Structure 1
Amino acid sequence: MIKNNIKNIRQRILLATERCQRDPTEVSVLAVSKTKTTTDIKQAIAAGQDFFGENYIQEGVKKIQFLDNPSLTWHFIGSVQSNKIRLVAKYFDWCQSVNSVNCANRLNYQRISFQKPLNILIQININNEPTKSGVSLKELLVLAEHISQLPYLKLRGLMAIPALKETYCRQLKIYQKMSEAFQELQNVYTSVDTLSLGTSHDMEAAIIAGSTMVRIGSAIFGSRGQE
């Protein structure tokens, strides 16, 4: 099932990129593996999947340690709690949910002993929803400038989790705002190359707007748990 699901996701990406005349290789798939077993993850690996995203730090660390596979790339996509920052810095390759100077400083400090910088995406609260984490677009450039000065972090781009809208057109409009912010950031920082936007439910609109990474959980692993 997982193998076929990954094949279907790649087909959806192909069709979406054809609609907007993009190269399908510009869009990578992050398999959201939270609440999934290592058996599920191994099936995805066998189907060629090598990017995985975890929301819960202790669960993610256990999987990383158990699988012990250097060819895999692990993204932390959950809320970065202050008492778990050391684990994010130690075990993950990317952190997609940086939303403050303090968070960036602490990740940088904890990453000192590693040769490779931790790849960073700034989380944007595109609709300024009070229940969601992330910085506003007005705060973006200040935080990006700060991160760019930290030696053990590498600014790679933006991430957002916009609320699903009633229509495709409304969804696309929100995603285009993210794409514009991403392009502005690319004009300033040569390291910026990743816009993490879109899930199982709305990946087509995200890709057409310019997403370079879609976060796919249920469409790969099934509906057990939440994306």
Structure 2
Amino acid sequence: DKYDPKYTWHIIGHLQTNKVKYIVGKVDVIESLDSLKLAEEIEKQANKHGIIQKVLVELKISKDPNKTGYPFKDAKSFISQLQEFKHIQIKGIMCVASKTDDQELVESEFEQMHTLYLELKEQYPEMDTLSMGMSQDYKLAVKHGSNTVRIGHAIFE
């Protein structure tokens, strides 16, 4: 038996529309779909490649002006709008919580995301990913329903 690695490639972080052509067809999941303009470009490039690109919709749950993501309050209408794109498959939603020592705020953000995820999953059963939690808050995120975490520096601690 030869060892056969099973892995998937995800792109995380903000994706500029002019970089989409280099990404579509080379990654399994784009984790940071955060605008209609980006969705249109992903659709165009995925159509060119004859593939269906899996994505996570990045939502802005934090009030931090430096954080990116589609406004949380408009998430349902945005995801509904994205259904018209035939070459995009929404696998779930993701967020980056506030970077703060206020654990109650972080828990509240995670809980809002979890509630939304459960509502969306009812409407779109193919959604299977709630991605939230990083090195500093992944334990709280998992406690609040996250099934995908993004761990960086904590791996090496």
Q: Which runs of 4+ in 1 moved over 6 A?
A: none
> Which runs of structure 2 are paired with 1:84-103 in the superposition (5 Å)?
84-103=19-38
> Which runs of structure 2 are paired with 1:127-206 in the superposition (5 Å)?
127-206=62-141
RMSD over equivalenced CA pairs, Å: 1.9
Q: 1:210 deviation in Å?
A: 0.3
Question: Is the Cα–Cα contact under 8 Å of residues 17 and 37 in structure 2 kept in the other structure?
Answer: no
Q: Percent identity?
A: 27
1:123 maps to 2:66: no
Q: 1:115 deviation in Å?
A: 5.2
Question: Is the Cα–Cα contact under 8 Å of residues 25 and 53 in structure 2 kept in the other structure?
Answer: no
Residue of structure 2 equivalent to 1:75? 10
User: How far does the alpha carbon of each residue in 1:22-74 deviate from its partner, in whole angstroms, 9 at most, with x for none?
Assistant: xxxxxxxxxxxxxxxxxxxxxxxxxxxxxxxxxxxxxxxxxxxxxxx983201
Q: 1:116 deviation in Å?
A: 4.3
Residue of structure 1 equivalent to 2:143? 208
| TM-score, reference length from structure 2 | 0.89
| Equivalent of 2:46 in 111, 114, 127 | 111
| TM-score, reference length from structure 1 | 0.63
SS in structure 2 of the partner of residue 183 of structure 1: helix
* Paired AA for residue 60 in structure 2: N
Question: Is the Cα–Cα contact under 8 Å of residues 186 and 193 in structure 1 kept in the other structure?
Answer: yes
Judging by fraction of residues, say which structure has more helix.
1
Question: Is the Cα–Cα contact under 8 Å of residues 128 and 136 in structure 1 kept in the other structure?
Answer: no
Q: Measured at CA, do residues 72 and 114 of structure 1 come closer, stay the same or move farther in structure 2, by a change above 3 Å? A: farther
Q: Measured at CA, do residues 141 and 129 of structure 1 come closer, stay the same or move farther in structure 2, by a change above 3 Å? A: same
Which structure 2 segments of 5+ residues have no match?
none
Which structure 1 segments of 5+ residues have no match?
1-68
